[in-house]
Amino acid sequence: MIRSMTGFGSVAETVDGEQFAVEVRALNGKHFKCHVRLADELVGLESDLESIVADRLSRGTVTVTVRYEDRSEHAASRINGPALQRYLTELKELGADVDPASLLQLPGVLISDELADRRDRCLDTLRGLLTRACDAVLDMRIVEGRCIEEDLGRHVASVESALECIQTRAPMVNELYSDRIKQRMSTMLGQIGAEIREEDVLREVAIFAEKSDISEEIDRLRGHIVRCRELIEGDGSKPVGRTMDFVAQEMLREANTMGSKCLDSVVSRHVVDIKVAIDRIKEQVQNVE
């Protein structure tokens, strides 16, 4: 089982008058990168929330948005009695009119809860909400992963089918070359009245066979196909995207080598089919966690 890298999760909850809304958006990314956007009252919790996300999501570009509104008793500010009394005393000495509403705007008259206390209180709630949002992202990744898995399976099957055709064709290539070289040598030697020596033909065929032998490339490519299927059909406990990308690169390398070594038109056509399927695998793997 594989997972995609895209997903979305959203959770909202009100706890003792404090309203929280957490959104997690995950997009494709070569590595894990997390951006945390917080309300002003919660600034300072970025590293804590990023650690929570990193424990749940292993790869991709993740954006966490936290909205917060405090409608609890904690939102009310306390009046600083000594400061207010001092303002009143000085205003009376100056004979100024006292407007209670204006007094509340003076520096130091209203005291809010300590920001650190608010952050500590909210972190416990956000930890649970963020975990649930990440779980929703994982669920979406699994659903999309099934579609990617089917698509990758088709492309791997295409590679395997073309490889079987190449393996069947490969032994015939030397025989065809032997017939061609005999015909060429017969034509050339016939013009000067000489006869073909069998040892000369065998030597030319042996040199050609050594240069065009692709048996090792076939075996290695078949091994990469097996490994690719193991990754696709795994239990999904670990991200496999980067590993599959590497395997696809190795598959393409073997295909290129086969195409350059074996100059048979039929083999070349199947090599092209293999390279097209591998390119599609490489494109799809960029979506895999």
Token readout for 65 is 């948005």
What one-letter code names the amino acid at 135?
D
The answer to whether 201 touches 181, Cβ cutoff 8 Å, is: yes
According to CATH, what is the number of the domain 7-74+114-142? 3.30.230.10
Assign domain 144-285 to a CATH class. mainly alpha
Digits of tens for pLDDT over the chain (289 positions)?
A: 889 999 999 999 998 888 999 999 999 988 899 999 998 778 889 999 999 999 999 889 999 999 988 776 555 555 666 766 677 777 677 766 666 666 656 665 555 555 557 778 889 899 999 999 999 999 999 999 999 999 999 999 999 999 999 988 887 776 655 556 555 555 555 555 555 566 655 566 555 555 667 888 899 999 999 999 999 988 877 889 999 999 999 999 999 998 888 778 888 899 999 999 999 999 999 999 8
The whole-angstrom separation of Cα 49 and Cα 64 is 8
pTM: 0.70
- The counts of H helices and E strands in the chain are 8, 6
Q: Write out 136-203 in H/E/C secondary structure.
A: HHHHHHHHHHHHHHHHHHHHHHHHHHHHHHHHHHHHHHHHHHHHHHHHHHHHHHHCCCCCCCHHHHHH
- What are the domain boundaries of the chain? 7-74+114-142, 78-111, 144-285
The whole-angstrom separation of Cα 67 and Cα 135 is 19
